[in-house]
Amino acid sequence: MKSIIPLLSAAVIAFSSCSHQTSTSSARKVKEDAATNKAWKRPVGKSIYAVLQIKNTIKVGDSVKLKFTVYNPTDSVQQFCKWHTPFEPLISKYLDVKEANGEEANYQGAMAKRMMPPPASSYQKVNPGDSLSIEVDLLKGYAVKKPGKYAITYNGEGMSGLAVKDSVVFNYVKP
């Protein structure tokens, strides 16, 4: 029983220490607004969010470039934790890459051990009404080898504080 208390304390700190900060709306309002938005092009709510983009068809042997764009639709500067996003080197499994049959492409990149809470340098600011984009080559960290249809889902929201509503799909075809 005594060993559970430190574990629970560590879990609470880990999950709460690296989320985005919103100075213009309450957490409850953010959740309500996010739940009512159908399209994530320009949400009505006051929360920072991200969108994934990838080519529909990619030839085997070519780079598998995923574009990750963070949007700030608010009227104030927002920030997110870069950990578990492409805004840092590929050192964590923040994407689920699955074939159409459900088989997951193995993550082969490095895994970082982190000290909590994240330092100030771990956060990226986004100006009001602005966006930031970055591309990552999935082949540098994921074993996407055989032709087929793949779905990519972002799973790093708990660390970065960035909501990504939709997954993206691409066809990996022989040249």
* CA–CA dist 58, 137 (Å, integer): 12
pLDDT given at position 123: 96
Q: Which range, of 4-13, 46-55, 99-108, 130-139, averages the lowest pLDDT?
A: 4-13
pLDDT at 132 over 50: yes
pLDDT in tens, 40-58: 343 445 699 999 999 999 9
**pLDDT, mean over the chain:** 80
pLDDT at 1 over 90: no
- Report the pLDDT averaged over residues 114-143: 94
- Residue 49 burial class via C-beta count within 10 angstroms: exposed 0-12, middle 13-18, buried 19 and up: buried
Q: What are 62's two structure tokens?
A: 């070519």
**Listed residue (58, 71, 19) closest to 142, CA to CA:** 58
| Residue corresponding to tokens 């990838």 | 54
Helix (H) or strand (E) holding 4, with range, is: helix 4-16
Number of H helices, E strands in the chain: 3, 9
pLDDT at 35 over 70: no
Give residue 90's pLDDT band: very low, low, confident or very high (50, 70, 90): confident
Give residue 109's pLDDT band: very low, low, confident or very high (50, 70, 90): confident
Between 5 and 8, the more confident residue is: 5
* Residue 150 CA, distance from chain mean position: 17
pLDDT given at position 46: 66
Helix (H) or strand (E) holding 57, with range, is: strand 57-59
Whether this prediction's pTM lies above 0.95 is answered by: no
* CA–CA dist 175, 171 (Å, integer): 12
* CA–CA dist 24, 36 (Å, integer): 18
Q: What are 66's two structure tokens?
A: 């995923």
pLDDT at 31 over 80: no
CATH topology of domain 4-173: Immunoglobulin-like (2.60.40)
pLDDT in tens, 135-174: 999 999 999 999 999 999 999 999 999 999 999 999 999 9
pLDDT given at position 127: 97
Domain range summary for the chain, segments of one domain joined by +? 4-173
Instruction: Work out the percent of the chain whose per-residue pLDDT is above 90.
Output: 64
